[in-house]
Amino acid sequence: MPKDFPINALTNTKLLPDNDETDMLGHLWKLARATPTLLSTFSQFGGACSAEELADPGTQVRAERVVRETGLLDTLMSVSKCQDYVVNRGHYFGADLPAADKEALIEYIKHF
């Protein structure tokens, strides 16, 4: 993998649908469509690299080219468990609540 590759894109790959997922076949179909791209990309990366190969700037350039040309990130996003990679930014739940309700919610959450 190239340096600075977003590892969450790889680790959040959803290989199996959730048990309660209503569109289980849809997910399996997305995974089936993604498989050729994934296999081709990983094949182009090759096997294990020696320390010398990893230190070679050409190896990094080749890995970046493979990711770009195969569309690896888009493919991984299509089968991701978590498609928003904004970490620790939270969501807007409760943003429209009046101040008193926000305080009550904060006090309630402190119990967990």
Domain boundaries, given as residue ranges, for the chain: 7-109
DSSP 21-32: -TTHHHHHHHHH
The stretch 3-14 carries a mean pLDDT of 83
pLDDT tens, position by position, 12-38 = 888 887 777 778 888 889 999 999 999
Model pTM score:
0.60
Could you say which DSSP state residue 13 is in? B
C-alpha–C-alpha distance, residues 36 and 45, integer Å: 14
pLDDT of residue 86: 58
* Per-residue pLDDT, 37: 92
Q: Which pLDDT score, from 0 to 100, does residue 69 have?
A: 93
* pLDDT tens column, 46-104: 877 788 888 888 888 998 999 999 999 889 888 888 766 555 555 677 778 899 998 99
CA distances to 3, 21, 76, 80, 83 from 18, in Å: 32, 5, 17, 12, 16
